[in-house]
Chains A and B, each alone.
Chain A
Amino acid sequence: MSAVGSQNSPAAKSLRAYARWRWWELALLAALPLSWLLLPGQSLLLNEIAIVALFAVSLDLILGYAGIVSLGHAAFFGFGSYAAALFAKNVMPDPLVGLVVATAASALLGLVTSVLILRGSDLTRLMVTLGVASILYELANKLDWLTGGADGLQGVVMGPLTIPFAPIAGFAFDLAGRVAYAYTIVVLIVVLLIARRLVHSPFGASLQALRDNRLRAASIGLSVPLRLVAVYTIAGGVAGAAGGLLAQTTGFSSLDVFDFHRSAEVMLVLVVGGTGYLYGGIFGAIVFKLLHDVISAWTPQYWNFWLGLFLVVLVLVGRERFVRPWTWFGRRHAP
């Protein structure tokens, strides 16, 4: 078959369609910078949402695509956070260099700890990931000469945000979080674009394949362990970038970034938004944080009750139906 003929074959067309941009993807990417323009007073909250979204995108890469369950993803988030804070404090205050360092450090942590998730069942993976995060939490607590211990690393002063190779002055981080949010959005969009290419590539397809059936993945010639190591390393780096952004834009890093509630929250965020399509973390983070904001403003003490109720309803109704209220009272068809 000629190369020209096969370009228009049914398989070639369908394969191209798999990777085509959907309208809502473009709308979402456009909405991110628009939110910066249209909601100038909300930058601090939006920045927090975007960081959680980035963190959840990272979890989606391992959980949604490769099927690796983790209850300790905060290990990478926290590691990136401390790496960025320590780098700014002890080496140099440039945010971009610091972000690269935080990403690389957490990717390295992902590479090293990936051997722990290769064997065993989902239950062992839950325990092992939880264990790694707990170990790092205690290390950050005990090594107080380095990390500040329980007080956290305070007084991290960031330099201005410069645009590489541009002959203009940098932007200093402001109290309203305008620069911070712009910074986070740009990182989030860049990561999304890279991750999107990744999941539509043969490598991305191989992750979904081994998630669905490891036995068959090996039987078509894929090295399952190598692929798991690769995606765990990448996801570690992305989570580290999210943690690094948090440290840089808030100016401190504390034990909280390693805490179990971080790992649990990012899992909830992803479950709310949906796994395995890359954008679930973003929708989940928006819904989760807005719910948190609205409910805790209304009834600060009982916010967990309403969150719990929301999750129960979401799971019972199913996400597909939940976002389509018009189907709630129709007949349910068997799948």
Chain B
Amino acid sequence: MTTVLETRSLVKRFGGLAATNDISLVVERGARHALIGPNGAGKTTLINLLTGVLEPTSGTILLDGDDITTLASHLRVRRGVVRTFQINQLFNTLTPLSSLALAVSVHQGTSTRFWRPLGGDAAVAAACDDLLTRFRLADVMNQEVHSLAYGKRRLLEIALALACRPRVLLLDEPVAGVPQGERQEIFETINALPDDVSILLIEHDMDLVFNFAKTVTVLVNGAVFAEGDVETISNDPRVKAVYLGEDDAVGAHA
């Protein structure tokens, strides 16, 4: 296995608080890697560091062996590091179709075109059709995003990330707020991604995590607490202790 994304001794301090404390993490090519941990463990902060939303206090981030620690956020996306957000971050006055068409254009290198219409490229429309069908958004593709039901917006959140043709996909609680019955469906779509796409998943639903992931990293207080395959982690008594009595709080986490 080759390493795609790697952090070395990554630290992020907010004043006196070390939200990320000396994290060295390796994401392999084609990984199905889950990041778990109690609330406030620093999972989202780590994603923000990996995607360049936040700048680390110290440490390095490597993509395919290149140092991307200070690379601008949008350039990381163009190199294939794409994320979804725990709280939907969408283009509210655009339609799902124009949002996706824009994202596809960016990754075809045609988003700087100003003289041809957004739909002027047959490949863009084809990619949009595919995504709209896979995420069951075809029937609402011409409605403004803010008017969509929450479940549909959640699907668009993930579809937008896939429109960027990720090589490393960082999913920050992709099914947060999605009814139990629809969660599996979203995961089936994620599972259907090509094998060489590496996925780092933050999720609280342990059943989903243990079904999906091959590797699990447990974060506690900003540091790596345990790491291993699903078997090891699910039987680790220390990990159980961390989660003990938190099962109820987990579902309410927003």
Task: Provide the B156-178 mask, 1 if CB < 8 A to any CB of A, else 0.
Answer: 00001001100000000000000
Q: From B92, B102, B118, give the contact of A220 (CB < 8 A).
A: B102
Contact of A202 with B by CB under 8 A = yes
Residues 100-148 of B contacting A (Cβ, < 8 Å)? 101-103, 105-107, 110-119, 122-126, 128-130, 132, 138, 141-142
Contacts A14-B141, A219-B83 known; A213 to B129 CB distance under 8 Å? no
A206 cross-chain contacts in B, Cβ below 8 A: 102, 106, 111
Give the A-binding residues of B (Cβ under 8 A): 51, 53, 72-75, 77-78, 82-83, 85, 89-94, 97-99, 101-103, 105-107, 110-119, 122-126, 128-130, 132, 138, 141-142, 160, 163-164
Interface pair B82/A219, CB less than 8 Å apart: yes
- What's the least CB distance linking B104 to chain A, in Å? 9
Contact of A38 with B by CB under 8 A = no
- What's the least CB distance linking A215 to chain B, in Å? 5
Contacts A201-B117, A208-B94 known; A9 to B77 CB distance under 8 Å? no
A211 cross-chain contacts in B, Cβ below 8 A: 93
Complexed CA–CA distance, A276 and B103 (Å): 21
Q: Which 5 A-B pairs have the closest CB atoms?
A: A15-B119, A12-B125, A221-B77, A203-B114, A11-B128
Whose C-beta in chain A lies nearest to the C-beta of B98? A205
Q: List 24 A-B contacts (CB under 8 A).
A: A6-B129, A7-B122, A11-B119, A12-B119, A12-B122, A15-B125, A18-B117, A200-B118, A201-B114, A202-B106, A202-B113, A202-B118, A203-B112, A205-B98, A205-B118, A216-B90, A217-B91, A218-B73, A218-B74, A219-B51, A219-B74, A221-B77, A221-B107, A222-B111
Whose C-beta in chain A lies nearest to the C-beta of B138? A10
Give the B-binding residues of A (Cβ under 8 A): 1, 3, 6-7, 9-12, 14-16, 18-19, 197-198, 200-206, 208-209, 211-213, 215-224, 276
Whose C-beta in chain A lies nearest to the C-beta of B132? A11
Beyond contacts A7-B125, A18-B119, A219-B82: 16 other A-B pairs, Cβ-Cβ < 8 A, are A7-B122, A9-B125, A11-B128, A11-B132, A15-B117, A15-B119, A201-B116, A202-B110, A203-B114, A204-B118, A205-B102, A206-B111, A218-B74, A219-B51, A221-B106, A221-B164
Interface pair A18/B114, CB less than 8 Å apart: no
A204 cross-chain contacts in B, Cβ below 8 A: 114, 118
Interface pair A223/B89, CB less than 8 Å apart: no
Q: From A9, A202, A224, give the contact of B111 (CB < 8 A).
A: A202
Task: Report which residue of B112, B116, B142 has the largest number of chain A beta carbons within 10 angstroms of its beta carbon.
Answer: B112
- What's the least CB distance linking B184 to chain A, in Å? 26
A12 cross-chain contacts in B, Cβ below 8 A: 119, 122, 125-126, 129
Interface pair B73/A15, CB less than 8 Å apart: no
- What's the least CB distance linking A242 to chain B, in Å? 21
B118 cross-chain contacts in A, Cβ below 8 A: 15, 18-19, 200-202, 204-205
